[in-house]
Amino acid sequence: MGDLAIDLAIYYQLGTSRGDYSLLSSMDVKKAEFFGVFGETINDLIMHHHVDLAKKRWRHAAGPKTPDDHFATEFKVKGRWVDGTPEYSFYICGLRKLLALGASTIMRHLKTHPERATQWQRGILARRPVKVAVLAQAAKNARVAWAMLQSGACYQTPEGAAVGQAPAIATAKAVAAAAN
């Protein structure tokens, strides 16, 4: 799916490269709409065939002698924590890769600038292998992003933190408490 997303980005650039003389630009097709339509179509296709996949897996586990009427076709689609997208949505894979890539960049940067590491980062790097620390940083970044989305908070660095320190999430309660 990652290759498909890259190819779609290339095709969008080609379709808008000449301004109003390009097909997508002349029709005012925006990038978000372009990707959104492809994403919804692929998601619909996968969710449409999800019952078939579940039935094949059930058949394999239950054995050939079990009648098909024992299979329950109704099931609840599992949702992910990221804006409730379905489990098999291709957005999840890309987001997971981006979080890991960002975390590996942070950890690589800390090798050349160890003074910028937070206490948590120093501790995890001391206790665990680098790849485990990268995944821990990615998970932490995901939790911070989720907390910001849920609370509506802004991304802020704590007062007195050195450049490169981990940011804190400022909520309305924390801001009001600091003002008093």
Which tokens hold the place of 52?
A: 């078939």
Q: What's the pTM?
A: 0.43
Cα–Cα distance for residue pair 66/69, rounded to 1 Å: 9
Which tokens hold the place of 146?
A: 């989720």
Q: What integer pLDDT is reported at residue 160 of this predicted model?
A: 41
Q: What integer pLDDT is reported at residue 165 of this predicted model?
A: 47
Beta-bridge mates of residue 86: 79
- pLDDT above 70 coverage of the chain, percent: 71
Q: What integer pLDDT is reported at residue 70 of this predicted model?
A: 66
The stretches in the chain having pLDDT less than 70 are: 1-2, 68-93, 156-180
pLDDT digits (tens, 9 = 90+) for 92-105: 667 788 889 999 99
Q: Residue 99: what residue type?
A: L
